[in-house]
Chains A and B, each alone.
Chain A
Amino acid sequence: MIAGRRLDTLRSNLLLTVVCLVWVVPLVWALGTSVRAPGEPVGTGFLWLPGRPSLANFAEAWSAAPFVTYYLNTIVICGGILAVQLFTITLAGYAFARVPFPGRELLFSLFILQLMLPLTVLAVPNFLTMRDLHLINTKLAIMLPYMASGFGVFLMRQAFRSVPLELEEAGRLDGCQWWQVLWHVYLPLTRPALVAFGLVSVTFHWNDFLWPLLVTNTPNARPLTVGLASFALAGENGAQFPLIMAGTLLVMAPLLLGFFLFQRQFVSSFIRSGIR
């Protein structure tokens, strides 16, 4: 009995270790490559670690492209999208969860359908819309298509429905307007879902590449990902892997750092909101 359980633990630990390695190896490789001294060829020395570690690549990458602008752009884009999304998914989720109106279920099914459309299918029509709105090459163009989220609405609707109806009724008798019920009762109780959604949203938009590439054509509006790509392609004599890796790490760093800092909260949020 106990031996069996121990064997189970051993097995799952082994599996987790393998999965972990698969995730960590590219990261370690990128890190190892990025700190190679500029003169040292990639193939020399031990495969992973350079003979003489140096941060010169980071300095060079940083100065070679307008990373500050890219950073600011990405932060504004991710923050802007998230802020508007939190607003829209909360209101729409509440309406779908607790406000009866004719056609509610039908409308909600349409929202769910949105989840099944691959985003790339929408790229061309969205591009045309942005062009018609004269928004090409603005941050707003990158943000606009994402400001409503079928996934977020779905998530918040489920979360709100798990809040007992009596709590809303108690709130209304205690003196709340509907938006006060939302603010004081529903939102505190569904924070895990909001946090989980925020994390998914920020990660997605931080790493999003295709759409920002389509609607931008100058560094002014470009986010990090697009900037990094153009920087990587700009190398004169073939791919400069150490430099590119340094740039990549610069792009990833804030996300990684944020995740390590708030790992605990994120994981529990995911578990409680039911997203894995």
Chain B
Amino acid sequence: MARVVLDRVTKKFGEVAAVNDVSLTVFDREFLVLVGPSGCGKSTILRLVAGLEDVSSGEIRVGDGLVNDVAPKDRDIAMVFQNYALYPHMSVFDNLAFSLKLRRVPKQQIRQRVQQTAATLGLEGLLERKPKQLSGGQRQRVALGRAIVREPQVFLMDEPLSNLDAQLRVQTRAELIKLHRRLEATVIYVTHDQVEAMTMGSRIAVMRDGVLQQMDTPTGLYDRPANMFVAGFIGSPSMNFLSGRLERHNGSLQVTAGDLVLDLPPERAAGADSANTQEVVVGVRPEDVQPAASLVPNGHRPINASVDVVEHMGNEKFVYLSLANASLVARIDVSCPASAGENLPVVVDAGKIHLFHPATEEAIF
């Protein structure tokens, strides 16, 4: 019932289009994550859906109704703000109860619902405190509770975890996922942290400069990025980009990028043919670059690389490599020996590379 639909929505602040012709559908009970670099219009989209800003053009529907002209309080939407925006003069109890009081819910029922929400979030002992007397994590849970207690159709969350320390963030992330499952509500969640996006979203919408770049499941985005921006934004360390050429060689299609020469598997060659270009940008995920010693099915012709920097992550390591006229990051197993200054022959998995059009930056595949 609580689908959220944006239909060709544009929001201009003066001449700047903070949101530019965005169309997207958030399904009922979906956890949609909006990601993108700072200033790309994520918050603006949330504020448009909440009704805190008016669209310049386009339509927004919540449930089945057009809400362009509906006041925020009548949209049945709750928002969790980045800095929580708890009412400083009210106790935790009153913060949670405020929206219910405004809706004239009977006192008895308010008490019950607040207590139930507090129990869900582990806030029972804190109900009499003022926000000032809470830790950051506790405030964050109160902010969440204030949204939950209303049982709205749609939750909007604007970087709700960004003020927490790393450990608490991971923990709260997991709690939020569980909570979403239990509440069965539609959530639109904004973050600029791609790890949060990948772990939390049932689908992810990637924004850039107000324009929706791609919307897909986390694996869909990772495996089939629509353009170089998405490819570079999703995944850490970022995808390697090398400029290269497509050449036909003995009937099979080859990509060359400096020292790197790869035969495209036949099932991918067809796609590359249709791109109608010789110049390409080759995208290689760091995990698809492996030391030549380890066996990679489609990898061939080891290339020589020298190790610049090694970052140990505990379970794996990131190796920054210099090629003849390019550089690569590889994500390799801890057991593989590699240290700065050494030579390390590597192979690239040709079946997993991405090709992009150098002018449009769109994916060829």
Contacts and interface: CB of A to CB of B under 8 A. Distances in A.
Contacts of B146: 170, 174
B102 A175 contact: yes
Given A174-B73, A175-B102, A169 B87 contact: no
B99 A174 contact: yes
A180 B102 contact: yes
Interface string A35-50: 0000000000000000
A25 to B, nearest CB: 42
Most chain B CB neighbours (cut-off 10 Å) among A166, A185, A188, A189: A166
Most chain B CB neighbours (cut-off 10 Å) among A173, A174, A177: A173
A169 B72 CA distance: 9
Interface string B61-87: 000000000011100011101010101
Interface of A: 164, 166-167, 169-177, 180, 184-185, 188-189
B102 A166 contact: no
Contacts of B178: none
B98 interface: yes
Contacts of B83: 164, 166
B87 A172 contact: no
B50 interface: yes
A173 B72 contact: yes
B79 A173 contact: yes
A189 B73 CA distance: 22
B88 A173 contact: no
B177 interface: no
Given A175-B73, A175-B99, A180-B102, A170 B85 contact: yes
Given A170-B87, A173-B79, A185-B87, 4 more contacts: A164-B85, A167-B87, A169-B72, A189-B89
A85 B273 CA distance: 78
A162 B129 CA distance: 23
B306 to A, nearest CB: 51
Contacts of A185: 87
B249 interface: no
B293 interface: no
B98 A184 contact: yes
Which bucket holds chain B's interface residue count?
20 to 34
Given A164-B85, A166-B81, A166-B83, A172 B99 contact: no
Given A164-B85, A189-B89, A170 B102 contact: no
A173 B77 CA distance: 7
15 contacts: A166-B83, A169-B52, A169-B72, A169-B85, A170-B146, A173-B52, A174-B99, A174-B146, A175-B99, A175-B102, A180-B102, A184-B87, A184-B98, A188-B89, A189-B88
Contacts of A171: 87, 98
B34 to A, nearest CB: 18
Nearest to A169: B52
Nearest to A188: B89
A184 B103 CA distance: 14
B85 A166 contact: yes
Contacts of A166: 81, 83, 85
Contacts of A169: 50, 52, 72, 79, 81, 85
Interface in B200-223: none
Contacts of B78: 173
Contacts of A172: 52, 71-73
A265 B50 CA distance: 39
A173 B89 contact: no
Contacts of B103: 175
Contacts of B79: 169-170, 173
Contacts of B71: 172
A232 to B, nearest CB: 47
B162 to A, nearest CB: 14
B102 A174 contact: yes
A173 B50 contact: yes
A258 B131 CA distance: 33
Interface string B17-42: 00000000000000000000000000
B155 to A, nearest CB: 11
Interface string B81-116: 101010111000000001100110000000000000
Contacts of B87: 167, 170-171, 184-185
Nearest to A172: B72
A164 B79 CA distance: 16
B81 to A, nearest CB: 5
B163 to A, nearest CB: 13
User: Lowest 5 A-B CB distances belong to which pairs?
Assistant: A166-B85, A174-B99, A175-B102, A170-B85, A188-B89
B77 A174 contact: no
Nearest to B88: A189
Most chain A CB neighbours (cut-off 10 Å) among B73, B77, B83: B73
Nearest to A189: B89
Contacts of B72: 169, 172-173
Contacts of A189: 88-89
